[in-house]
Structure 1
Amino acid sequence: MTAAKEVAAELGTALRDFLGGYATPVVPVEDGERVWSRLCGELGLAGLLVPESRGGLGFGAAELVAVAAELGRAVVGGPFVPGAVAAATALSAVGTPRSDELLEGIAAGSPLPTLVHVPFASGRRVAASTAADGALTLTGTVGPVLAVPPPCPVLVPADVAGSPVLALVAPDAPGATLTPLPSLDLSRPAWRAGFHETPATVLADGVTAAEAIRRAEIATCIALGAECVGVAGHALELTVDHAKTRHQFGRPIGAFQALAHTLADLTVTVEVARSAAAYVTRCGGDERSTHTLAVKASEAAVTVTTEAIQLHGGIGFTWEYPAHVLLRRAHSAAVLAGTPDQHRRALFALVDER
């Protein structure tokens, strides 16, 4: 086992042990922010991808996959994906004194900046304009913004005369609004960000901005894909345990051939998703392996959690049981990561380039 795999395994075990202290297999929604604060303080997860030179842990794809899978398994809320993953990755690619200052703040435990999530391959960016003195202002709406109070700095992919810009908006900037959006996943609140001639600071432009946004998009897809792997695995565990303990006609329901075959198929589905996650870690998180993970993991999570609800019967729909919570996280993460068809097309395009 390589050093990176050993560290990733240790991180996953530490997270599993920490989160295993809850009475239910998932973290209650109301405890999500408190749990995230503890994870940052005790395990330093906010600085997971922040370079060591800026006070962070300096980890890569293997550790990201291990951590995200455990957070997905327990459906932990908090700003991990938009802040510790997307924003930290984008800032690391910028390499300016201001971006370095923000990275050092992330590692030190300051409120996480959050990157406005742009749906995969959409190319959506907020319109921006520059005044004669070079000042930048933003006008438009974009979302969802996956963050939680208190307000934090927002990184916005913007467009100035057809050229990409990565802009930083202060939490109290005039003309900036955050409108709550309905969210299927109650542990992950979402807002729509609106801007009207809102002053912003240019962190990067041109090729640098495009590369920072691209890297953040890849890291976000890896994190959400790994979450889906954790969700699918947990849903399968719950379903197998239920099939062993729930009796009908004097036998465990898992002994009936139809259910046994279904569980076998779900096991294969989960193992394929786990293999895709291992492929990402082996490749260091390149685009090809990321698209593969996004396809296999999102499909696995949706398929397994849907079947889990059905195989649990009525109890699967109750608030007291975590099956429906896992279902919500699966559908939410699958949408945010981009649809499987989008990632297939991107993967085919990469193959054609060869």
Structure 2
Amino acid sequence: MNQPSSQPATPDLLYSDVEDDLRSAVRGLLADRCPPTAVLARIESGTPYDLDLWRTLAAEIGIAGLLVPEELGGQGASAREAAVVLEELGGAVAPVPFLGSAVLATSALLAAPAAAGPLLKRLASGEATAALAVPLPTAPGAAFPGSVRVAADGTLSGRITGVADASAADVLVVPAVGPDGPGLYEIAADAPGVSIDVPVSLDLTRPIADLTLDAVAARLLVGPDSAADALRAALLAGAGLLASEQLGIAQWCLDETVRYLGERHQFGRPVGSFQSLKHRLADLWLEVVSARAAARNAADALASGSPDAAVAVAVAQAHCATTAVHAAEECVQLHGGIGMTWEHPAHLYLKRAKADEIALGTPGRHRAALAELVGLPA
């Protein structure tokens, strides 16, 4: 009689037909509604988020509810499909609150579907947008934040800095500590006592906000028994899926640079034919291919509930973050003078890549976490 194998399942790094169809739909809409010229124009306006595009993505394609179960009005998909969407959003540096609402906030709320069910339905339909009120650099495994306190009357007071997508949110999911312990609370973004300040961010396509709460009425969503685990799971999912956004950034930068060097001529021949540039592009291609494998492995591990998900996420973030930055830097430099101009979108990708590099944990933080997870000595 054959003994069951104790070996872990082999990760599926390939894209399914469903994922390819989803990519095609998102890419087509972004090509029509979110070209680089439109993104550049929007960041120069007073409304950096394209909420009309977000509503179309949410209502017509259903990306806002990808991670929400069907019984709660969502698509019942997995992290694999969300990763494909983030690849395309990263490739367009689309100014929409997908990461903050459909990934971070939604993942935290899934820990308490009974209490958070009505809110999840609103998020899945695109009727409302949420933000998880933690500083964007917060890494998976960080201590539960204690900057917001719960008063005896159930109101929240405190300050949270550097929250992604908060300025576009209708609802804030706030980690807070009260007499009974930690919890996740729902507050309206326009409730009395809520102040949202938006400083100038490095990445103008994903503004961060500083929140000040002064005796704000709140509703408990996730209680002390599971709040810390819910937040940890949300940050792990966010970090793992952010790797796919970083992959999309790197892929766009590589493709655009190859295209440009094939068209730009110097000394009577395409610049891309020079051997030194070929070598740089070949090295970058290898980095991007490796980043794709790492990002897909993290998405698959999250989707399958693998016990090695934390390892896969740490590997993906440690590699994809630096690859995105390197690809964006090469894109700017190899475009020459035009790459340094405001009119060319290369700077948008460099700024998003640099902001993503510190989001949800730096590469160094993830390497340290990986060493601990696999038992490597310090």
Q: 2:149 maps to which residue?
A: 128
Q: 1:109 maps to which residue?
A: 126
1:202: how far off? 1.6
AA of the residue aligned to 2:27: R
- 1:276-322 CA deviation, whole Å, 9 max, x = no partner? 01212332352211111111111110011011111111101222222
> Which segments of 5 or more consecutive residues in structure 2 lack a partner in the other structure?
1-11, 43-48, 304-308
Distance 1:337 1:202, change over 3 A: same
Distance 1:126 1:207, change over 3 A: same
CA–CA distance in structure 1, aligned partners of residues 257 and 13 of structure 2: 33
**3-state SS in 1 of match to 2:217:** strand
1:352 aligns with 2:352: no
Q: Give 1:325's match in structure 2, choosing from 344, 348, 367.
A: 348
TM-score, structure 1 normalization: 0.92
**3-state SS in 1 of match to 2:159:** strand
Q: 2:8 maps to which residue?
A: none
Give yes or no for contact 1:26–1:75 (8 Å, CA) kept in 2.
no
What aligned pairs does 1:326-341 form with structure 2 within 5 A after superposition?
326-341=349-364
> Which segments of 5 or more consecutive residues in structure 1 lack a partner in the other structure?
none
**3-state SS in 2 of match to 1:282:** helix
1:14 aligns with 2:25: yes
Give yes or no for contact 2:237–2:302 (8 Å, CA) kept in 1.
no
Give yes or no for contact 2:13–2:297 (8 Å, CA) kept in 1.
no
Distance 1:2 1:344, change over 3 A: closer
1:183: how far off? 1.0
Give yes or no for contact 1:27–1:76 (8 Å, CA) kept in 2.
no
Q: Which runs of 4+ in 1 moved over 3 A?
A: 1-4, 22-27, 148-151
1:150: how far off? 5.8
TM-score, structure 2 normalization: 0.86
1:137: how far off? 2.5
What aligned pairs does 1:1-354 form with structure 2 within 5 A after superposition?
5-21=16-32, 24-25=35-36, 28=39, 30=42, 32-97=50-115, 99-118=116-135, 119-120=138-139, 121-123=141-143, 124-131=145-152, 135-147=153-165, 152-160=170-178, 163-285=181-303, 286-352=309-375
1:184: how far off? 1.3
AA of the residue aligned to 2:134: H
* Identity score, percent: 36
1:4: how far off? 7.7
CA–CA distance in structure 2, aligned partners of residues 223 and 245 of structure 1: 34
Give yes or no for contact 1:5–1:62 (8 Å, CA) kept in 2.
no
Please, what is the CA RMSD of the aligned residues? 2.2
1:161: how far off? 5.1
AA of the residue aligned to 1:127: V
Give yes or no for contact 2:176–2:185 (8 Å, CA) kept in 1.
yes
